[in-house]
Amino acid sequence: MNPQNSGRDSDSSLRSEFHTKFRLSWPIWFLVAVHAVIVLAGFVAPYSFETQEREHPYAPPTRLHFVDCAGKVHFRPFVYVTKAAENALDEYQQDCSQRAGIEFFPQGDRYTILGTFSSTRHLFGVPAPANLFLMGTDGFGRDQFSRLLYGGQVSLFAGFVAAVFSAFTGLLLGGIAGMYGGRLDDAAMRFAEVFITIPWFYLLIAVRAFLPLQISPVTAFLLVVSVIGIVGWSRPARLVRGVILSARERNFVLAARGFGASNTYLLRRHLMPLTFRVLLTQMVVLIPQFILAEVILSFLGLGIGEPFPSWGNMLAQAQQYHVLVSYWWMLLPGLAPVPVFLAYHSLAETLQERIKSNI
């Protein structure tokens, strides 16, 4: 063995290991961070999602300054108070005589986190009459940044919950179909095919039509999640069935059966664990798909309603021509899912490679 080569191999192997770990860890940490911020939206967002600053409709993103109008440098970032120009709805002028520094942990609108912890203390903000609209405002003067964070609670968690629901249902039905085979398998798979062919969009419209007018935001959220989840369980079910079908003929399973193991025992002890990695990968693939489904439904007005935001219903405002051509910041909710999807896809790819290498 050439020691020189050996050293190079060792370096390469270390680099590869680091590369793999990084590829696996960055999306995980990124997603954890994003979800944490979204859960803590009430604290991180400077305003409530429904606070209307009616003097500031379609205000562009607030400019953060370090240098004031007189050219003096400040270490603490600040904003100037802005006022709408006379006879113009959406033109603003900054008042150099009124400066407001960014404050940490100021008092603001009341919010609740996870339905339990209630507070009025926010991560950052500016004192009135200044405003801090990091991503501008919509036509009602509502802060787009705050709404984007709150909107993520709907969009991200709808995707996540629907994926968990789909994976669980898929595991149950796919496992039974793969294990018992025969008529049960046929019935389960035909049932799954029916669900694959269901036009989910029309299903949602039909379900909405049957519900009473006054459904709470929670009900609307659950409705969206259920429809996405119900329609989405069939693909994981077919995948699980395939894994079980091949695994049940493997020697260790046959041996266990020979020792008198029951089907339930085999499923629980030997077969289900084999499906977990596949199912995890499938979930990571499904989550962005389901987030997108929620965004589309809300975009079309079939998701959660005003004043509650979701990434879809925020983007829906850009359907109006004047918004599209005049207020670029209204398109930002369309960009929000991009890094999240990228992280999920990167995670899915890494997981898939790991499964392949293990096989």
Partner 1 sequence: MALQGATLFVAAALLPVFATAQTATQTATQTAAQEDLFRTTSEAGIRGGKLVIAQRSEPRTLNPVIAIDQNALGINARLQADLIHINRATQKTEPALARSWTVSKDGTVFTLKLRRGLRFSDGQPFDADDVLFSFQMYLDEKVHSSQRDLMIISGKAVKVEKLDAFTVRFTFPSPYSAAERVFDGLAILPRHLLEKDYQEGKIGQAWTLSTPPEKIAGLGAFRLKQVVPGDRVVLERNPYYWKVDGKGQRLPYLDELTFIVVPTQDAQVIRFQAGDSQIISSLSADNYATLEAEEKTRHFKMYDAGPGLEYNFLMFNLNSDTEGRLPEVARKQKWFRDVRFREAVSAAIDRASIIRLVYRNRAAALATHVSPGNKGWFDSSIAVPAHSVSHARDLLRAAGFSWKGDNTLIDSTGQPVEFTILVGSSNTQRAQIATLVQNDLKAVGISAHVVPMEIRSATDRVLNTHDYDAIVMGLVSGDADPTPDMNVLVSSGQTHLWHLGEKAPATPWEAELDELMQKQLVTLNYQQRKKIYDRVQEVLAQQLPMVYLASPDILVGAQENLGNFHPAIIEQYTFWNAEELFWHPPAGKK
Q: Kindly report the CA angle at 168 between 162 and 173, in degrees rounded to 5?
A: 125
Which of 84/280 has CB closer to partner 1? 84
CB of 319 to partner 1, least distance (A): 8
Question: Cis omega before residue 307 (within 30°)?
Answer: yes
Report the alpha-carbon distance of residue 149 to residue 40 in Å, rounded. Answer: 9
Report the alpha-carbon distance of residue 75 to residue 337 in Å, rounded. Answer: 33
Instruction: Tell me if 211 contacts partner 1 by CB under 8 A.
Output: no
At 291 the three-state DSSP class reads helix
* Interface positions, 140-199, toward partner 1 (CB under 8 A): 140-141
Site string for partner 1, 249-288 (x = CB under 8 A): ----------------------------------------
The runs of H, that is alpha helices, within the chain are 3-39, 41-44, 144-180, 182-197, 200-210, 217-232, 234-247, 251-258, 263-266, 272-299, 311-315, 321-326, 337-358
Q: What's 198's DSSP letter?
A: S
CB of 201 to partner 1, least distance (A): 14
Report the alpha-carbon distance of residue 41 to residue 153 in Å, rounded. Answer: 8
Report the alpha-carbon distance of residue 154 to residue 335 in Å, rounded. Answer: 16
* Interface positions, 303-322, toward partner 1 (CB under 8 A): 305-307, 320-322
CB of 306 to partner 1, least distance (A): 5
* Interface positions, 91-150, toward partner 1 (CB under 8 A): 139-141
Instruction: Tell me if 214 contacts partner 1 by CB under 8 A.
Output: yes
CB of 43 to partner 1, least distance (A): 20
CB of 215 to partner 1, least distance (A): 8
* Interface positions, 327-356, toward partner 1 (CB under 8 A): none
CB of 57 to partner 1, least distance (A): 5
**Closest Cα to residue 160, out of 344, 7, 9, 23?**
344
At 330 the three-state DSSP class reads helix
Report the alpha-carbon distance of residue 343 to residue 358 in Å, rounded. Answer: 23
* Interface positions, 70-89, toward partner 1 (CB under 8 A): 87, 89
Count of C-beta atoms within a 10 Å radius of residue 253: 18
CB of 76 to partner 1, least distance (A): 33
Beta-bridge partner residues of 291: none
CA distances from 142 to 87, 123, 137, 138, 148 (A): 21, 18, 5, 5, 11
Q: What's 318's DSSP letter?
A: G
Stretch of residues binding partner 1 (CB under 8 A), selected from 96-104, 242-250, 323-331, 342-350: 323-331
By CB under 8 A, name the one of 1, 128, 213, 359 that touches partner 1.
213
Which of 242/307 has CB closer to partner 1? 307
CB of 54 to partner 1, least distance (A): 5
Which of 75/321 has CB closer to partner 1? 321
CB of 300 to partner 1, least distance (A): 10
Instruction: Tell me if 57 contacts partner 1 by CB under 8 A.
Output: yes
Q: Kindly report the CA angle at 193 between 187 and 199, in degrees rounded to 5?
A: 140
Instruction: Tell me if 60 contacts partner 1 by CB under 8 A.
Output: no
By CB under 8 A, name the one of 301, 328, 335, 339 that touches partner 1.
301
Judged by CB under 8 A, how many residues of this single chain contact partner 1? 22
Identify the residue whose tokens are 């035909």.
190
Site string for partner 1, 15-54 (x = CB under 8 A): -----------------------------------x-x-x
Residues forming the site for partner 1 (CB under 8 A): 50, 52, 54, 57, 87, 89, 139-141, 209, 213-214, 301, 305-307, 320-323, 325-326
